[in-house]
């Protein structure tokens, strides 16, 4: 605060002339000193507040810069997907019959091989018994044929020996045995050999008939096993179409019989998402996906397991599937999920913030701050881009500094005061 000194007229009158001059000089000097101190304080305070403005006015402006650094950059697609059972099948009866017992209802969890329903087919039981009897009969025929072969071979051995004995005797003593007797013995030998061959053929036919009977038995036994309907895998019964005593038809291609139950495997789900045509070429097996289920609030990551590799002509989309474990059965088939699919990703890529790149006439440029803090306009070749950063394929090196935003405020060769950008720091925090 300024200090003032007042001298009354009476005091001045009583001071000698020379003393009055000295007094006036001292008073002026004191006022100058006090004024200089006040002005200095004001200037000091103003310079501390308006330093950047003063420097900007003198031609050196502040510039928000971000470093060129290596980070993971990915191109993502946001799309809605639907959960589907990993397997879903309608279980039909292979044979027609009545439901003797059904053991499950909707919502029941079953295991592979568990009996779900049993049919009653009386005529099929009779056919099974008939097939068993046919097998026994064919086996007896085989045994009888074996006996016939043995008998024919024994008879052939006796007749053949007799014929050889007569022939040998005739050689030693010609004329002793009549020729008619020799011819009869030889004919009987040959006839017995033919009987052996016939018996062997009958044995072979009996064996073939036994195989036919066994095949029929297996056929009817298989049909009999179809009267028991079992679960092909672990799953949940999602629908039941028949009750005890209901007549069900055989589920063949020429029949429109109703199924007995519908069984879905839900301990693993397929998250099916329709990917548009513009992104199809970029999808790869193993691509990462961020999944958020609105119904349950669950949030997890998954990977692309498979895709159709063909477009649906009606929607121009390709179906992509992600396998989702569901051991606790918290997710249900039919639920929707928001999927962030990372269709392209590159680790350790050279990147800059999105706000540091300006595009014009198909070219991408950045404002580079060199080691002398001067602005340079630099052309770059951009690569992958995500919401925060852009990959730089050429034009920059790691550690370079680029200006973020407000491009029109800077000119080529202009000297600036670099200041770390808040966008760069926030992006780094988000990456971590």
**How high is the pLDDT of residue 59?**
56
Report the range out of 25-34, 92-101, 339-348 with the highest average pLDDT.
92-101
Phi (first) and psi of residue 217, to 5 degrees: -65, -45
> Which of the four pLDDT bands, split at 50, 70 and 90, describes residue 219?
confident
Residue 15 predicted with pLDDT over 50: no
Mean pLDDT of 139-147: 88
**Over the chain, what HEC string results?**
CCCCCCCCHHHHHHCCHHHHHHHHHHHHHHHHHHHHHHHHHHHHHHHHHCHHHHHHHCCCEEEEEEECEEEEEEEEEEEEEEEEEEEEEEECECCCEEEEEECCCCCCEECCCCEEEEEECHHHHHHHHHHHHHHHHHHHHHHHHHHHHHHHHHHHHHHHHHHHHHHHHHHHCCCCCCHHHHHHHHHHHHHHHHHHHHHHHHHHHHHHHHHHHHHHHHHHHHHHHCCEEECCCCEEEEEECCCCCCEECECCCCCCCCCCEEEEEEEEEEEEEEEEHHHHHHCCCCCEEEEECCCCCCEEEEEEEEECCCCECCCCEEEEEEEEECCCCCCCCCCEEEEEEEEEEEEEEEEEEHHHCEEECCEEEEEEECCCCEEEEEEEEEEEECCCEEEEEECCCCCCEEECCCHHHCCCCCEEEEEECHHHHHHHHHHC
> Which of the four pLDDT bands, split at 50, 70 and 90, describes residue 2?
very low
Mean model confidence pLDDT for the chain: 83
> Which of the four pLDDT bands, split at 50, 70 and 90, describes residue 3?
very low
Give which of 325, 112, 402, 330 is closest to 231, Cα–Cα.
Answer: 112
Q: Where are the domains of the chain?
A: 9-49, 61-71+348-431, 79-89+265-345, 122-226
**Assigned CATH topology for domain 79-89+265-345:** Elongation Factor Tu (Ef-tu); domain 3 (2.40.30)
Give the Cα separation of 186 and 165 in Å (integer).
11
Over the stretch 356-387, which tens digit does the pLDDT of each residue have? 999 988 899 999 999 999 999 999 999 888 88
Cβ contact 307:321 at 8 Å: yes
Give the Cα separation of 260 and 102 in Å (integer).
9
358 burial level (CB within 10 Å; 0-12, 13-18, 19+): middle
Mean pLDDT of 174-192: 81
Tell me what percent of the residues of the chain surpass a pLDDT of 70.
83
Give the Cα separation of 27 and 4 in Å (integer).
9
Measured over the CA atoms of residue 202, residue 203, residue 204 and residue 205, the dihedral's sign is: positive
Give the Cα separation of 293 and 326 in Å (integer).
13
> Which of the four pLDDT bands, split at 50, 70 and 90, describes residue 290?
very high
Residue 54 predicted with pLDDT over 50: no
Over the stretch 379-421, which tens digit does the pLDDT of each residue have? 999 988 888 889 999 999 999 999 998 888 899 999 999 998 8
CATH, range 61-71+348-431 = 2.40.420.20
Residue 18 predicted with pLDDT over 80: no
**How high is the pLDDT of residue 46?**
45
Cβ contact 362:296 at 8 Å: no
Tell me what percent of the residues of the chain surpass a pLDDT of 90.
43
Residue 254 predicted with pLDDT over 60: no
């Amino acid at each position: 605060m300024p200090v003032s000194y007042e001298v009354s007229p009476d005091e001045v009158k009583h001071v000698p002339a020379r003393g009055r001059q000295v007094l006036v000089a001292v008073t002026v000097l004191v006022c100058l000193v006090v004024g200089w101190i006040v002005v200095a304080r004001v200037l000091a305070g103003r310079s501390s507040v308006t330093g950047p403005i003063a420097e900007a006015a003198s031609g050196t402006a502040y510039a928000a810069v971000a470093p060129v650094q290596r980070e993971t950059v990915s191109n993502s697609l946001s799309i809605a997907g639907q959960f589907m059972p990993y397997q879903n099948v309608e279980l039909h009866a292979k044979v027609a019959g009545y439901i003797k017992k059904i053991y499950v209802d909707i919502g029941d969890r079953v295991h592979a091989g568990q009996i779900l329903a049993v049919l009653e087919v009386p005529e099929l039981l009779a056919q099974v018994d008939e097939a068993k009897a046919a097998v026994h009969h064919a086996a007896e025929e085989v045994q009888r044929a074996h006996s016939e072969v043995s008998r024919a071979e024994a008879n052939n051995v006796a007749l053949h020996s007799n014929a050889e004995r007569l022939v040998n005797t005739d050689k030693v003593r010609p004329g002793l045995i009549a020729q008619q007797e020799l011819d009869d013995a030889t004919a009987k030998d040959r006839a017995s050999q033919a009987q052996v061959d016939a018996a062997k053929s009958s044995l072979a036919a009996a064996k073939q008939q036994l195989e036919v009977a066994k095949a029929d038995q297996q056929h009817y036994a298989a049909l009999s096993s179809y009267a028991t309907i079992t679960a092909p895998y672990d799953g949940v019964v999602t629908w039941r179409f028949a009750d005890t005593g209901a007549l069900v038809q055989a589920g063949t291609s020429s029949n429109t019989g109703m199924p007995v139950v519908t069984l879905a495997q839900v301990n693993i789900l397929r998250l099916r998402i329709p990917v548009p045509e513009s992104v199809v070429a970029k999808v790869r097996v193993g691509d990462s996906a961020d999944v958020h289920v609105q119904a349950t609030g669950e949030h997890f990551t998954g990977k692309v397991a498979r895709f159709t590799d063909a477009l649906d002509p009606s929607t121009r989309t390709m179906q992509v599937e992600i396998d989702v474990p569901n051991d606790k059965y918290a997710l249900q088939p039919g639920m929707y999920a928001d999927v962030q699919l990372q269709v392209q990703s590159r680790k350790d890529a050279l990147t800059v913030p999105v706000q540091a790149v300006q595009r014009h006439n198909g070219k991408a440029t950045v404002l580079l701050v060199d080691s002398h803090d001067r602005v340079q306009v630099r052309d770059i070749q951009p690569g992958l881009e995500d919401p925060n950063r852009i990959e730089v394929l050429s034009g920059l090196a790691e550690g370079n500094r680029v200006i973020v935003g407000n491009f029109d405020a800077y000119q080529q060769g202009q000297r600036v005061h670099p200041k770390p950008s808040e966008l760069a720091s926030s992006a780094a925090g988000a990456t971590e």
